[in-house]
Chain A
Amino acid sequence: MAENQWQATASWGALQQRAKTLSEIRSFFSERNVLEVDTPVLMRGATTDLFLDSISADVEVSGKTERLYLQTSPEFALKRLLATHRQSIFQIAKSFRNGEAGVRHNPEFTMLEWYRPGFTLQELMTEVAELVTLLLSVRPVRLDSYRNLFARYVDCDPFLASMDELRALSLEKTGCDMTGESRESCLDLLMSHCVEPHLGRNEFSFVYDFPAGQAALSKVEVVDGVPVAKRFELYIDGAEIANGYDELLDAEEQARRFEMDNAGRVKQGKPELPWDKKLVAALEAGLPECCGVALGIERLLMVRYGYQNISDVIAFPYAVV
C-alpha cells in the first residue's frame, strides 16, 4: 500500500449521508421500542460456515493466551441476549469477514442486525420494507420464491434439477467450470449471475423459501414437497441488501449444523473451528420464537445515494488502511 495514500476515500458529503442514515435508523427503532444493544466483536466461538472465514486474534490476559474470533455478524451474541431478556433488540455492529474485498465487499464492514420475538417472517419482511421505504423512497414491494425466480430466469427447478443439469447450466451461463463443486455452489453461481441482476429494479424485491442446503441458522420446513429454508433476502438495484431468518430454536439441530460445517471445512482442507457452545446452551435454555435480519449498512448507503464502490462510503477501506 502506498504510504502517501493517507486520506479518507469517502467525501465529506458521504460521511454526512452515513451519519444521517444511522441516525434515521436509530429513530426508526426507537419509535418501535426496539432497544439498541452492544455486543463483543471478539468472541470465543467462530463462524463455521464453509464460505465465511473469521479473522482471529490472540488475546492475552494474566499470562494466558487464547485465540478469539472477530465476529462475522453479531448473531451469536444477540441470540444469547434474546434468550436472556426475550425483548426486541438491534445492533449496528462492525463485522469482519476474511478474504472479502471488492466493489461491494470490505473485510471490515457495518451490519445492522435486529431481532423480533413473536414476529413471523412475513411481518419482518414488512418491517424491512418500511425501513427501506423510509430511507430510500417509495417503491413497490415484490415477493418471489427462490424456486419461481429460477424457473423464470434460469429455466430450471433448483430443488429437483440433477447435478449434471446444474453444472451444465453453470458452464453455459457463466463459463465457470463447476466440476466437483457442490449443489449449493452451483445454485449460488446461477443465482448471482442470472437472477440477482434482475432483482430490485424500481422495486424492493424479497426472495423467500431458499433450498434447505442454504438454511444456515434458519428453520427448515417442507413446502410443495421440498424442504425449504425459512429465510428471505432483500435485493435493491441488483444488490443483496438484507438477509432474514425465521430463527432455528432447536439446540441439538444447531449443534449438528455446526458439526456438519466443520466436517465440510475439513473436506476442503480448511481448519476446524471452535463453534459457539454458549449459543447452543442458550438455545437449550430456550430462545423465544423470533425472526431476525441482518442488513449491510454500506450496501444500503450505496443504493440510497447511488455510489458504485464501497470505498465511497467507508472513510478508510481495506486498500487504504
Chain B
Amino acid sequence: MASYSTNDFRSGLKVMLDGDPCAVLENEYVKPGKGQAFNRVKLRNLKTGRVWERTFKSGESLEAADVMDIDMEYLYTDGEFWHFMLTDGSFEQHAADQNAVGDTIKWLKEQDIYTVTLYNGEPLSVSPPNFVELEVTETDPGLKGNTAEGGSKPATLTTGAVVKVPLFVNIGDKLKVDTRTGEYVSRA
C-alpha cells in the first residue's frame, strides 16, 4: 500500500496510525527559527471517532489507509445489520453494523443516499447528507395561524428522531432537517 509523507497531509487524507484508520483534519507546520521542522497533525480515528493530536518530524510518512467514501442507497435493516446498495448500477450491497451506523440511525430513510465509509471493504461508518426530509409521526396539534410567532415544541419523525419545530407543524407534515445540527429548517 502507498504511504504519504507529512508534506502530503491534507484535510481528508486517510492514513494508518497505531493500527487504526484515521482521517487527517489539520496539519500545521512548526519550525523553530533554526531548528528541525515538525508537523503538528490533528487526526480523527475513524473507528472510535476520537480526535488525536500527534507531532511528526517533517518528511516522516504514514501508510495509506484502505478507506473509501462511497455513496450508497439505504435499503432496510434486519435488526442486526443495516443494508446499503451501491448507486452505480452494480447492485453491490454492504451490511453495516450498529457501530458503523452510529448516530446516523436517526436520519436513515429507505431509498435515500448516504455516504458509507469502507475500510478494507467493510463499512466503518455511515454519514447522512446535510439535509434530510422526514415525516412527523407525533407532535402536539398545530396552532392554526401561528406562523410568525416564536415558540417551539418537540416533534417525533418517522425515524424516531426528535426535533424542535415551530408550533404550526402537524402530524403528517414533511420536514427538512439539518443533520449536522439536528435542527428543523422548513416544511418540505
Contact = CB atoms under 8 A, between A and B. Distances in A.
Interface of A: 49, 51-52, 99-105, 174-176, 178, 181, 184-185, 188-189, 191-193, 214, 216, 233, 240, 243
B31, B33, B53 pick with most chain A CB within 10 angstroms: B33
Contacts of B55: 174-176, 189, 193
B28 A188 contact: no
B38 A175 contact: no
A188 B32 contact: yes
Given A175-B53, A176-B56, A181-B57, A102 B29 contact: yes
B37 interface: yes
B70 to A, nearest CB: 28
B28 A102 contact: yes
A191 B28 CA distance: 16
Main secondary structure of the interface of A (DSSP, over half): loop
Nearest to A176: B55
Contacts of A52: 34
19 contacts: A51-B31, A51-B34, A51-B37, A100-B37, A174-B38, A175-B52, A175-B53, A175-B54, A175-B55, A176-B54, A176-B56, A178-B57, A185-B35, A191-B32, A192-B38, A193-B55, A214-B34, A214-B35, A233-B33
Given A175-B54, A176-B56, A181 B32 contact: no
A51 B35 contact: yes
B30 interface: yes
A189 B53 CA distance: 14
Interface of B: 28-38, 40, 52-58
Contacts, number: 64
Contacts of A103: 28-29
Contacts of B29: 100-105
Contacts of A102: 28-31
Nearest to B56: A176
A180 to B, nearest CB: 10
A102 B29 CA distance: 5
A65 to B, nearest CB: 30
A52 B52 CA distance: 30
A193 to B, nearest CB: 6
Contacts of B52: 175
Contact of A176 (B32, B35, B57): B57
B130 to A, nearest CB: 26
A181 B36 contact: yes
